Structure 1
Amino acid sequence: MIDRKSPVPMYYQIEQYIEQLIESRNLKSGDQIPSEREFTDQFHVSRMTVRQAVMNLVHSGVLVRIKGKGTFVSNQNKIEKSLLGLNGFSEDMISRGMKPGSFMMSFARIRAAAKVADRLALDEHDDVFEIKRTRFADDEPMAIETSYIPAKMVPDLTEDQVSPSLYQYIERQCGLPFDHAVQSIEASVVTAEEAKILAIPKGSPILLIERCSYLKNGRPIELTKSLFRADRYKFMVKLPRG
């Protein structure tokens, strides 16, 4: 409950109260939380104080606001992905017993931008296939993925061949086995357009992941930028001592 004598701000105490309700399972994933007015009457604070507490939890991924419906507890069962091992999105979902899916936002052969050409060790005027997809798990949007593939290495790539698995096509049909990848992970927030695609509130936290994959001969074959929902995805790594 609220301690008005505490130096801890009241909005933060309300945040903690809501989180305790979730931890004690008095509020479960998908449950609607009380309205701002109910919290205002319960704690005898201003609606602005309650709104700040709720929005902080929305921005941290604990809650999700659905326009016209209210605020709900977000899905607390996150998909775990190991940072050890190079797998495509479809392979990851299938290994977890989930149904992978994709929506092709765009597929085009374009001139490689300077950064893309540099990362893929291409000449200035080389072309790449730019593939933008929304990735789904059990019909729920999970990520926005943009991939670049050197056109001279996979010249016959078509939109149909990208699905269901780009990795399988490159390895099995093109005979180009993947060897390893270099990956970076950053925290970011979604734009209004990205939020709409991922069905999350504008300004929600996301995991920005950039990965460059290499063949066994050391040549880079793919550069991918992915925006993963932070409320549904987490990455795990095993750290051996020494």
Structure 2
Amino acid sequence: MGAEDGHDIAQRARPAGRNRSDPLWNHVKSALNRLILKGELAEHDQLPSEAALCQRFGVSRTVVREALSQLVNERVIYKLQGKGTFVSARPDDQDFIGTTIGFSGELTDKSRPVSHHNLRRGTVMPTARMCKMLGIDADVTLVALDRLLSVDGHPRFIVRCVMPEHLVPGLDRLPMENRSLYDTIGREYGIKLVRAERWIEAVKAGPEQAALLQVPVGSPLLGIESVGSDARGEKIEYYTAHYLTDRSRLHFAVSAPNI
């Protein structure tokens, strides 16, 4: 965005009037928020400089910084060091936590470009946790598939999945790059997951997760643990995942239990 564009935006953002009992920063924040909601500032557009906003609103730099800080906290805008302040992408609502179709399937339904990058494929022996979650013995061989999923080219989700090898023989040798796991096991093995239990907790990105998701170490993530079963109740899939939520929200639908 050029200087003239920033000048025009600052001019449009100038509030027409305000309630004197409200803090100045709140009116600056509201004016900028209105431009974003109306689409006059699009996703990833750069905001005018602090100096330009001070001039147009007739306020101090402290007031502008507080308004911008509030918008950053609400994830309406984001800052890039040395580059400026930009409008955040509007969050998508994701339903995959409450369904069995999985992250990539839910996004495919919304016609979003999802890419899958294989991090690891092969057979492994189960850990004690895998045995407990899948209800298997320690001598059962598992097929492991670790993947990085991206949306619109942005890394979003690291998932580490295992399935009993006797249920999906040869899965580790199938071409899985940019292919849906659930579609593949449905076509190749006739397996359809109809039920999933999931546990969710707030975690921080470690060095490996941060590098893969292209975020700073310590960034907030959702840690997810899941067990998927087929129509007979047989446990088919166990996965752990780290999910970056800065560009999306998770949607749940709940109802009262039958009495």
Q: Same-fold call, TM > 0.5?
A: yes
Contact 2:200 2:224 (C-alpha < 8 Å) held by counterparts: yes
Report how many residues are paired. Answer: 238
Distance 1:169 1:108, change over 3 A: same
Task: Flag structure 1 segments of 5+ consecutive residues without an equivalent.
Answer: none
Corresponding residue of 2:219: 204
Distance 1:45 1:132, change over 3 A: same
Contact 2:228 2:235 (C-alpha < 8 Å) held by counterparts: yes
Distance 1:17 1:123, change over 3 A: farther
Deviation at 1:187, TM superposition (A): 2.6
Residue 167 of structure 2 is aligned to residue 153 of structure 1: yes
Deviates more, 1:205-214 or 1:28-37: 28-37
Q: Distance in 2 between matches of 1:15 and 1:196?
A: 33
The aligned amino acid for 2:95 is K
Root mean square deviation of aligned Cα: 3.8
Contact 1:59 1:204 (C-alpha < 8 Å) held by counterparts: no
How is 1:1-242 mapped onto 2 (pairs within 5 angstroms)?
22=36, 27-33=41-47, 44=60, 50=65, 54=69, 61-66=75-80, 68-81=82-95, 83-163=97-177, 164-240=179-255
Q: Which has the higher strand share?
A: 1
Which SS does the other structure have where 1:131 is aligned?
strand
Distance 1:17 1:184, change over 3 A: farther
Contact 2:50 2:61 (C-alpha < 8 Å) held by counterparts: no
Which SS does the other structure have where 2:194 is aligned?
strand
- Of all paired residues, the percent bearing the same amino acid is 24
Distance 1:98 1:80, change over 3 A: same
Contact 1:148 1:224 (C-alpha < 8 Å) held by counterparts: yes
Contact 2:222 2:244 (C-alpha < 8 Å) held by counterparts: yes
* Higher gyration radius (CA): 2
Deviation at 1:135, TM superposition (A): 0.6
Q: What do residues 186-224 of structure 1 show as CA deviations (whole Å, max 9, x unaligned)?
A: 233323443342234444333322211012222211112
Distance 1:74 1:85, change over 3 A: same
Which SS does the other structure have where 1:216 is aligned?
coil
Question: Under a length normalisation based on structure 1, what TM-score does the superposition of the two structures give?
Answer: 0.74
